[in-house]
Structure 1
Amino acid sequence: MGETYVDGDIESDDLTAVLRVLARNLGVSTAVDGGVSSIARWRDILWHCLRSNTIIGSRRNIAAHYDLSNEFFATFLDPTMTYSCGVFEQPDATMQQASLSKYARICQKLRLHPSDRVLEIGSGWGGFARYAALNVGCHVTSTTISQNQFEYSRRSLEDAGVGDRVTLLQRDYRQLEGRFDKLVSIEMIEAVGERYLPIFFNKCCELLRPDGAMLLQAITIPDHRYDHYRRSVDFIQKHVFPGGFLPCSAAIGDCLRRQTDFRMFSWEEIGPHYAKTLRRWRQAFRQNVSDVRALGFDDRFVRLWEYYLRYCEAGFAERQIGAAQLVLTKPASRLPDFIQSPLQTYPARSAV
C-alpha cells in the first residue's frame, strides 16, 4: 500500500485512520502480505542484507537519511532540532516544550551532576548536549557519523556558548575510547542492526566506569512480532531508513545478560507520546510543504514523507511499535530509587 500511495495511485481523506485500521488488524495484513510475491520478498531481504551496518555501511546508511539537508529537517522539527520522541507533560505543550521535557527527564533519571563526564552516542543535531551543558553544567562528549549533523551541532553549540563543555566527535560507536560516568543514547540503537546489538551493548558497558549508568531511549517492536519482523523488510527499512532495525525487549534483555554486567534499573514506556510527536511533525511538514519543495524535493518525495510520518503515527497509536526509556546501571552504581529520592528539577534554560 505504501508504494502505491507514494506513486500517487491511491488517495485517502484520512490516511492515518486507514493505517490505524490496518495496524489494528496486523495479523491479517501480515498474512496477506506474505503471500503476495515471494520473489519480491526475497529481493527486499537481499537488498536489506547488503545495507548491513558495518562501520562503512553505517556511514552510508546514516547519510541516506540524516544528510538529506539540515534545512529539510528544520521544516518540521521544533527549534531544538530534536528528531526523537518528546514527552508531553501537559496536553497543550508545544513540541519544543515536549523535547525539553524529554531532555530534563533524562538528566533527572541519571541524576546528572556538574562534575559528571557524560558520553552521548548519537548526537542528532546537538539537542541533548546543549541542554545538559546549559542546565546541568556537566561535560558532554557526543558523537555522530552524520556530516550534516556534525556541522550543524558544532555551530549551534558554539552559538549557545557551551563549546567548552561539549566535545563533538565524528566517530562510530565501535571506535570510541575512554571511561565515562554516564552514557546517553537517544534513538540511535535503531541504526545498529540485529547483528551488531551485542557489540553495541558490550561497548556501552565497556565505556562506563564501574559505578556508571546509562539511559537508552529506544523504539521497540513487541516481543510476539519480533521473529516475523526480523525475517522481513518493511516499508521504513526499504524506503526511509536503510539498515534500520527495531529491537524487542527480550532481545535487549538477552544482550544485557550475555554481553554486559548491566542491571535493568528501570523501563518507562513513552510510546503514546510518540504518536503525538509524529502528529505534530506531520502537521508542521504539511504547513511548510512549499518550503520542502523549494529545497528541490519533488512530489513523490513529499508523498513518501507524508506516508512515513502517518505510518509511524498509526503504529504507535495502535501499540504495534513502542518507545521506552531504559536506565541501565553498572554493579557499583548507587543511583537513588526514584520513589524514595524524588527527581531533581532543572531550570530548563533554552537549548536552542
Structure 2
Amino acid sequence: MTTAEPATTPQRADFAAEPERWPERWPDVVAVPRVSRPRAAIAEAVVRRALRGLPLQARFAGPGAAGPRTVGRGGPLLEVHDPTAFHARVGAHGLVGFGESYMAREWDAPDLVGALTVLAAHAAELVPAPLQRLRPLWALRQPEAERNTADGSRANISRHYDLSNDLFALFLDDTLSYSSALFRGLPASWDLLAAAQHRKIDRLLDLAGVGEGTRLLEIGTGWGELALRAAARGARVTSLTLSREQRALARERVHAAGLTDRVSIELCDYRDARGTYDAVVSVEMIEAVGAEFWPVYFRALDALLAPGGRVALQAITMPHERMLAARTTFTWIHKYVFPGGLIPSVRAVEESVRDHTGLTVARRDAYGAHYAETLRLWRERFAERSEEVEALGFDETFRRMWTFYLAYSEAGFRSGYLDVQQYLFTKEDAAR
C-alpha cells in the first residue's frame, strides 16, 4: 500500500478515539493527503460541476464548504461531512481518494447503492474532457509488483481470497459460490440464492457438455461447488487455484462428499497446467488475469482443450472505451480489494479468442441484472452479520471498506456500466 503524504493534522478526534483505525493499520485512510490550495480548489470546482447536473443531491457541511450547500438535480443523498478532507483526497488521488474518504467517514449516503448507481451511470461524464485527455498525467498508475506474472498472481490472489474462509462464509450462501447467480425471476430473495447458484453452475456445465466420463479442467476453484457438481455428473475434475485457503476448504468439501476419486484440487497457475481435457470451465477468473496476459490465458485454454472440446467461461465485462481508459490506472478496487485485476470488455474477450487461439465463439449470454441482485443479497447479509465479522478480527474500517466494495459493485451492474457474460467456445475436431 502506498502511504499518502500526511496532512498537517493527520488525525481527527474520531480517528484518535478508535484503536482499530490507528495509522499503522489504515495509513491512507487516517492521513488526509496534503494538497496545495489551488489544487484543492480545482478539485472542488470539478466535483461540484460534475454533481450539479446529476440526478442526486450532494449536501456539503462543515468547514471548507463553498458555494451552495446542496448541488444536484435531486435524488439519492450524498452527504459530505468534511468537505475540506473530501476535496483534498479527490484532488490528490481521484476515485481512490473518493473511496478512502468514505472509509474515513468524511461522506456518507443513506442509500449508498442508489448514490453510487447514479455516479456509475454517468462515469464517462464525471471528469471534464480536457482533464480526461490529460489522464496519463494525473491518474495513479498500477504498481509494477501487482503485474500478474506467476509470482504477482499468487500474491494478488492471496491478498483477497486468503483473507479468511470464515469471513466469506458469513455472507455467501451454503454453496460458497462467489460469482453471479442465475435466478428464475427478479427481484430475488436470500432463500432462493443457493438454488440460483446451482442453476448458474448447471448452465455452465451444460454449455461445456459435462457428463459421465468427461475430463474437466476448472480454472479458478472457488470453494469447490462447481467441481462437486461436475463430479456428481460423473466427470473427472482437475481444479486449479492459487489460494491456499480455498484449496484447503475445497478439499475438505470434496472429502466430505466422498468424491476424492473424482476431484483433484491443485495449487497451480493456469500457465503451468498440463494435460488434455474434454471441457474447460472458468468462472469469473479472467478478471484476475490482467490485460497483458489475456492472450496467454486464452492460448492456455486452447492448448489444454482436446479437439472437439468445449470451454464455458463466465466473465464480468465493461464497455470497451472505459476498459481502455482503466487498463493502466490504479483504482480503489485495486488498492483495497482486487490487486492487479482488470475487467475486460466483450470486444477484448472476443478479439483475444480470435487473434490468439483456434477457438470459436459459439454463444454469449448476458445477465447483469442477476449480478446486481446477487450482490444486494451478499451486501445485506454482510450488514446483518457485522458483529460476527467483527468477532473474526475485522475492524470497523475493514467492514466499511467491504460494504463500499459490495455497494460499488452492485451499482456498476444496476447502472449497466458492468455486465456479466456466459460464453461457449468450441474447438474444431480435426478428425472430422
TM-score by length of 1: 0.90
In structure 2, distance between residues paired with 1:133 and 1:70 = 23
Q: Tell whether the 8 Å contact from 1:113 to 1:137 is kept in structure 2 after alignment.
A: yes
Aligned to 2:141: 45
The runs of 5 or more residues in structure 1 that have no matched partner are: 335-352
CA distance in structure 2 between the aligned counterparts of 1:131 and 1:287, rounded to whole angstroms? 29
Which residue in the other structure is 2:196 paired with?
Answer: 98
Q: What is the identity, as a one-letter code, of the residue corresponding to 2:177?
A: T
* Residues 220 and 240, structure 2, Cα contact 8 Å, conserved in 1: yes
Task: Say if 1:167 and 1:212 are closer, same or farther in 2 by CA, change over 3 A.
Answer: same
Contact 1:122 1:144 in 2 (8 A): yes
- Are 2:58 and 1:58 equivalent residues in the alignment? no
Q: Distance in 1 between matches of 2:135 and 2:127?
A: 13
In 2, distance between residues paired with 1:320 and 1:101? 25
Change (3 A) 1:31 1:234: farther
Q: How does 1:178-327 map to 2 (within 5 A)?
A: 178-327=275-424
Letter in 2 for 1:84: S
Identify which of 11, 18, 29 aligns with 2:108. 11
State the number of aligned residues. 330
Go from structure 1 to structure 2 and tell me whether the alpha carbon gap of 1:22 and 1:214 turns closer, same or farther (over 3 Å shift): same
Query: 1: CA distance between counterparts of 2:165 and 2:295?
Result: 32
Which amino acid in 1 is paired with 2:173?
D
Give 1:154 deviation, angstroms.
Answer: 0.4
Q: CA deviation at 1:86?
A: 0.5
- For 2:361 and 2:317, the matched residues in 1 are separated by 16
Kindly indicate whether the alpha-carbon contact (under 8 Å) linking 1:213 and 1:333 is maintained by their aligned counterparts in 2: no
- Is the contact between residue 112 and residue 138 of structure 1 (CA under 8 Å) also seen in structure 2? yes
List runs of 5+ in structure 2 lacking aligned partners.
Answer: 1-97
CA distance in 1: counterparts of 2:127 and 2:313, whole angstroms = 30
State the alpha-carbon separation in 2 of the partners of residues 3 and 193 from structure 1: 24
Higher relative contact order (CA 8 A, sep 6+): 1
Q: Secondary structure at the match of 1:332?
A: coil
> Deviation at 1:276?
0.4
Q: Does 1:126 align with 2:224?
A: yes
Q: Does 1:81 align with 2:176?
A: yes
Structure 2 partner of 1:349 = none
Tell me, yes or no, if the aligned pair for 1:212 and 1:333 is still in contact at 8 Å: no
- In structure 2, what is the Cα distance between the partners aligned to 1:269 and 1:75? 28
1:329 is matched by which residue type in structure 2? T
> In the alignment, what sits opposite 1:338?
none
- CA drift of 1:252 comes to 1.2
Q: TM-score, normalised by structure 2?
A: 0.73
Letter in 2 for 1:106: L
Q: Give the letter for the 1:60 counterpart.
A: A
RMSD of aligned Cα (Å): 1.9
Shift of 1:182: 0.3
In 1, Cα distance between equivalents of 2:197 and 2:166: 19
Shift of 1:164: 1.1
**For each residue in 1:195-254, what CA deviation from the matched residue of structure 2 results, as whole angstroms up to 9, or x when unmatched?**
100000001100010111100100111123222122423221222100101111111122
SS at match of 2:148: coil
Equivalent position amino acid for 2:202 in 1: A
Higher Cα radius of gyration? 2
Query: Which residue does 1:346 correspond to in 2?
Result: none
Amino acid at match of 1:122: G
Partner residue in 2 for 1:116? 214
Residue 142 of structure 2 contacts residue 329 of structure 2 at CA under 8 Å; is this kept in 1?
Answer: no
* Cα distance in 1 between the residues matched to 2:315 and 2:131: 27
Provide the rounded CA distance (Å) in 2 between the counterparts of 1:33 and 1:16: 29
Q: 1:30 to 1:240 in 2, by over 3 A?
A: farther
Match of 1:148 among 245, 250, 253: 245
- Structure 1 vs Structure 2: percent identity of aligned residues? 38
Of 165, 178, 203 in structure 2, the residue corresponding to residue 70 of structure 1 is 165
Q: Of 140, 145, 164, which aligns to 2:261? A: 164
Equivalent-residue separation in structure 2 for 1:298 and 1:32 (angstroms)? 39
Query: How far apart are residue 258 of structure 1 and its match?
Result: 1.5
